[in-house]
Structure 1
Amino acid sequence: MNNFGDLLGPLIVSKIVLDGGLTEPATQHRLLAVGSILNLARTGDVIWGIGANGKTLDRPAAYRELDIRAVRGPLTRAFLQAKGYTVPEVYGDPGTLVGRLWPREHTARGFRPRAVTVVPNLNDRHLAAGRSDAVDPTSDVRELLGTIAASDLVVGSSLHAIVVAESFGVPARLVTSSTEPRFKFEDYYRGTGRNEFRPAPDVDTAIAWGGEPLPSWDPKPLLDAFPRDLWVTASAGAPAY
């Protein structure tokens, strides 16, 4: 099943590779980017901006060695450090780069302006029941990007709806998930410099409260940490997003 966050990683990586003049892979190492997918890592994988999943923190790891370039936030960093890994203090979900890779004005073109868009987590779709302002997190990823870019406010329990909205400069408010632990949300907010955040108990309250303060966060360390060495470089230099 398609899920918004799961599809963002390949889209973002492909865009950076294309814009950076990178060509065929220079190595067979696997790159993990975007999502709470650390539990899916295997020995030798390259980690760029992913996080641990609060549901799987106690499960045995399937990896012994990782090439860690960046992680989603300080909670994931501490989790890996406790296992003996050296983890750079470079934070950020790569979804935070969406608004730089695909500017809001261009992305929203052709989409109906929306006052509010509700995006639930895949496992919280009851939050959207009967709401005309809700969208399905398994919709086409480019449709979701355009819808979020065309919105004045985004609320819901989908982490990547919040991440992408904020990357576009769209105010966003998290709604407490009935199925997802707090870990990944706190990891994201703290990774973008916000130690305090206030999830709403329900959609209507989230709309009434409006968005959290947008992050004041420098994307350069995350972009600089992108593992360009995994590809052959056809042209010199990297794009300035």
Structure 2
Amino acid sequence: MKPYYWESQHGNFGDDLNLWLWDFLLPGFREIHPETLLVGVGTVLNRALLPEGTHKLVIGSGFGYGTLPDMSDRQEWDIRSVRGPLTAAKVGVAPELGVIDPAVMVADLPEFQDLGKIYKRSFVPHWESAIAGLWPAICDVVGLNYIDPRGEAKDVIRKIAQSELIVAESMHGAILADAFRVPWTAVSTSNSINSFKWNDWAQTLGVTYKPRRVPVSTRAEAVIKGSRFWGMDFEPKEPPPEDPNRRNIDGDVVVAERAPRHSSLRGAAKRVLAAPSALALWHASRATPQLSKDSALAERKERFQVVLEGIRRDYF
């Protein structure tokens, strides 16, 4: 089998963990059934992403973007589980197959056991926010450890586990925090954050997705998200081709990182402009966090293990 995952050119730990998680959950899967594509962690049940005519084994994937593929052909699709009940309803399978996001199983890997706490509070933004925002500087101001979701997946996950509290705009930031029993608070910087996929996962564990609103931190971030920055509206549009620091990813304009060219005075001015973002993030980090019940998480993980046992029986 070959694992499928959505590969961001910038990196995104919630997708990149597919590169090694399945070797732990299904040892030896790469050596069997070369005709089968293992479709695992991620919001990837999308007609534009998955190839037609290839046998696909779906284990915990979610819907949330684009158009759902026609998954009625059971010769092509072996759906063992999906992320949650909302995806199950969309796909048209029994709600019992909406088990859990497989990323929760990362907490069982030996290398992530007995990690001590290093960070009191950490912030994990969405990858789009990380590209164009001032979040590392804002975290410095408000006393949060900044975790870049574009970093090497195991390093990102380790920092989540080593935190006492997580403020998460990244859904997998919250999923991994909950899996490691780290209380978390959800935030959102724009309407572009996909609430369907959040609620899909949240309903499996009995938690709620009611993100606290945090304003975007820069004009570039507002452009990406079609959001407001100091009262001005920006609609995403194709940038001039001569600008080498912009890219178009899945229809959204993304401003690539570049070497800083501003003076310390200009940098200070940008931090002042980002003051509303800092204040909102500070309040979010002091809000009452949530965490699923131990029993709810354990029950879902047990159900997922049953799914894995069925796959081992039928494929190995």
Using structure 2 for the length normalisation, give the TM-score.
Answer: 0.63
Which of 19, 30, 39 is the aligned partner of 1:32? Answer: 39
1:34-63 Cα distance to aligned partner (Å, 9 max, x none)? 11111133453111111002x32xx36365
Equivalent position SS for 1:185: helix
Match of 1:8 in 2: 17
Percent sequence identity is 25
Q: Name segments (4+ residues, structure 1) moved above 6 Å.
A: none
- The equivalences for 1:35-114 within 5 A come to 35-39=42-46, 40-43=49-52, 44-53=55-64, 55-56=65-66, 59=67, 61=69, 65=73, 66-81=77-92, 85=93, 88-102=96-110, 104-106=112-114, 108=115, 113-114=118-119
> 1:209 aligns to what?
287
Tell me, yes or no, if the aligned pair for 1:120 and 1:127 is still in contact at 8 Å. Answer: no
Instruction: Pick closer, same or farther for the CA change 1:64–1:188 going to 2, 3 Å.
Output: same
SS of 1:38's equivalent in the other structure is coil
**1:116 is aligned with what amino acid?**
R
- Offset, 1:68: 0.8
CA contact (8 A) 2:166 2:184 kept: yes
Aligned amino acid, residue 26 of structure 2: V
Cα distance in structure 2, aligned partners of 1:127 and 1:187: 30
Is the CA contact 1:117–1:134 (under 8 Å) kept in the aligned structure 2?
Answer: yes
Q: Report the CA distance shift for 1:230/1:190 in structure 2 as closer, same or farther (over 3 A).
A: same
1:128 matches 2:128: no
CA distance in 2, matches of 1:211, 1:114: 16
Distance 1:187 1:99, change over 3 A: same
C-alpha separation between the residues in 2 aligned to 1:86 and 1:27?
28
**Cα–Cα, structure 1 residues 151 and 74, in superposed 2: closer, same or farther, change >3 Å?**
same
In structure 2, stretches of 5+ residues that fail to align are 1-8, 215-280
Q: What is the CA distance between 1:205 and its match in structure 2?
A: 2.8
Contact kept in structure 2, 1:26 and 1:230, CA below 8 Å: no
Rate the CA distance shift 1:168–1:127 in 2: closer, same or farther, 3 A: farther
Q: Does 1:170 align with 2:178?
A: no
Which residue of structure 1 lines up, in the alignment, with residue 198 of structure 2?
A: 185
Contact 1:33 1:47 in 2 (8 A): yes
> Following the alignment from structure 1 to structure 2, what is the Cα–Cα distance between the partners of residues 205 and 103?
33
Cα contact 1:24–1:231 (8 A) shared by 2? no
Deviation at 1:211? Answer: 2.0
> What secondary structure, in the 3-state scheme, does the structure 2 residue paired with 1:70 have?
strand
CA RMSD of aligned residues (A): 2.4
Amino acid at match of 1:189: A
Q: What TM-score comes out, normalization by structure 1 length?
A: 0.81
Shift of 1:136: 1.1
Match of 2:227 in 1: none
Structure 1 position 191, deviation (Å)? 1.7
Contact 2:71 2:91 (8 Å CA) reproduced = no
Partners of 1:118 and 1:134 within 8 A in 2: yes
Change (3 A) 1:33 1:60: closer
Equivalences, count: 220
